[in-house]
Amino acid sequence: MKLPFALFSKLFIFPIVGLFVKKIISYQENIIAQEKLLGKGFVVAVNHINSFDHWIISFALKDKLRDIRFIGALDEPLLWLPSKILYYLANTISINRKKINREDFVKKVVPHLNAGKIVVIYPEGTTNREKYLLRGKTGAVELAVRAGVPIVPLGMRKGKGLFGRIVEIGKPMIFKEEDVDDFHKFLREKTDGMMKEISKICGKPYPYDNQ
Amino acid letter, residue 56: I
Q: Would 208 be classed as within a structural domain? A: no
Q: Would 207 be classed as within a structural domain? A: no
pLDDT digits (tens, 9 = 90+) for 162-179: 568 899 988 889 887 776
DSSP for 135-163, please give it: PPPTHHHHHHHHHT--EEEEEEEE-SSSS
**Boundaries of domain holding 48:** 3-202
> Up-side HSE of residue 40: CA atoms within 13 Å toward CB?
19
pLDDT attached to residue 35? 60
Q: What percent of the chain has pLDDT over 90?
A: 49
CATH number at 123 reads 3.40.1130.10
Q: What is the pTM of this model?
A: 0.89
Pick the more confident residue, 192 or 101. 192
| 207/67 Cα distance (integer angstroms) | 33
Q: What percent of the chain has pLDDT over 70?
A: 87
Q: Would 29 be classed as within a structural domain? A: yes
Q: Would 194 be classed as within a structural domain? A: yes
Counted domains in the chain: 1
Q: How confident is the model at residue 91 (pLDDT cuts 50, 70, 90)?
A: very high
Task: Quote the mean pLDDT of the chain.
Answer: 86
